């Protein structure tokens, strides 16, 4: 019985490792990648949560933790912002999303969401031809360089609310691997890299 229990525990831990989100180690290469690919690198804290699923949406969620949130900017390492309050959007990240609580101090890196656009593989086939037209963005690249957030399955009610939110607030799409605790080793490395780059200007 004990052996069976140990086997079950081992399998459970193995499955966790298989399906857990794994981020690239933060080194000089990944630092350069973050600075190259992300338009905004910001330090701040979580003010309140935004939570949504297929059934409900609440701008001021009472949940203990949430993936989308209002973010108060304390300092800017990269990018220009016109308001110190913005929105973090992590939709589409699944298990890679960072979970926030009110008051969390974070360093985030991401790009602005300017509009939402529905996409489908079916939209990229001609009706009377087998010719394949240019394919939609891969599902792991939800936001393109123009700031268009592509989605395939999202209730119209939620899309409508998010369109209203990005009209009112500056919204940034943040990948789970680009959201760090302010006092973490990774955040300190990014801050040091920012200072190094500033010294070269």
Residue-wise pLDDT for 152-191, tens only, equals 878 888 888 899 999 999 999 998 789 999 999 999 999 9
pLDDT reading at 142 higher than 80: no
CB 146 within 8 A of CB 116: no
* Residue for token pair 């804290």: 45
Q: Is the pLDDT of residue 39 over 90?
A: yes
**Helix (H, G, I), strand (E, B), or coil: what is residue 146?**
coil
What is the spatial distance between Cα 178 and Cα 15, in angstroms, rounded to a whole number? 24
User: What is the pTM assigned to this prediction?
Assistant: 0.77
Q: Which of 57, 62, 63, 61 is nearest to 164 (CA)?
A: 57
Are 24 and 31 in contact by the 8 Å Cβ rule? The answer is no
Q: Is the pLDDT of residue 132 over 50?
A: no
Question: What's the pLDDT at 156?
Answer: 85
Instruction: Check residue 184 and give its pLDDT.
Output: 94
Question: Does residue 28 or residue 45 have the better pLDDT?
Answer: 45
Task: Please report which confidence band the pLDDT of residue 12 belongs to, taking 50, 70 and 90 as the band edges.
Answer: very low
pLDDT band at residue 60 using 50, 70 and 90 as cut-offs: low
Max intra-chain CA distance, the chain: 66
Give the relative orientation of helices 28-37 and 185-199 as an angle to the nearest 10 degrees.
Answer: 70
The Cα 52–Cα 54 span in angstroms is 7
- What is the model's pLDDT at position 65? 85
The chain-wide mean pLDDT, for the chain, equals 78
Q: Is pLDDT above 80 for 3?
A: no
Rounded Cα gap, residues 69 and 48, in angstroms: 6
pLDDT value for 107: 97
What are the structure tokens assigned to 148, written together?
A: 């268009």
Residues 6+ positions from 68 with CB-CB distance below 8 Å: 49, 50, 51, 52, 87, 88, 89, 90, 91
Residue 56 pLDDT = 52
Give mean pLDDT, residues 109-137.
62
pLDDT in tens, 99-121: 999 999 999 999 999 999 988 75
User: How high is the pLDDT of residue 140?
Assistant: 41
Concatenating the DSSP letter of every residue in 7-69 gives HHHHHHHHHHHHHS--PPP-SHHHHHHHHHH-SEEEEEEEEEEEEE-SS-EETT---S-BSEE
Token pair of 190 as six digits:
């990014």
pLDDT, greater one: 23 or 45: 45
CA distance 11 to 43: 39
């Amino acid at each position: 019985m004990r052996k069976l229990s140990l086997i079950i525990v081992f399998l459970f831990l193995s499955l966790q490792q298989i399906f857990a989100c794994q981020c690239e180690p933060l080194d000089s290469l990944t630092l350069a990648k973050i600075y190259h690919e992300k338009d905004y690198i910001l330090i701040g804290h979580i003010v309140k949560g935004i939570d949504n699923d297929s059934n409900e949406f609440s701008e001021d969620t009472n949940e203990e933790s949430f993936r989308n949130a209002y973010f108060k900017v304390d300092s800017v390492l990269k990018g220009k912002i016109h308001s110190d309050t913005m929105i973090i959007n992590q939709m589409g990240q699944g298990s890679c999303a960072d979970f926030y609580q009110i008051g969390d101090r974070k360093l985030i890196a991401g790009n602005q969401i300017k509009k939402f656009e529905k996409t489908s593989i079916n939209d990229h086939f001609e009706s009377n031809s087998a010719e394949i037209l240019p394919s939609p963005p891969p599902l792991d690249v939800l936001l393109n360089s123009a700031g268009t957030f592509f989605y395939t399955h999202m209730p119209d009610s939620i899309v409508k609310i998010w369109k209203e939110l990005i009209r009112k607030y500056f919204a940034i799409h943040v990948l789970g691997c680009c959201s760090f605790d302010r006092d973490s080793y990774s955040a300190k490395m990014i801050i040091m890299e920012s200072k190094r780059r500033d010294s070269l200007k």
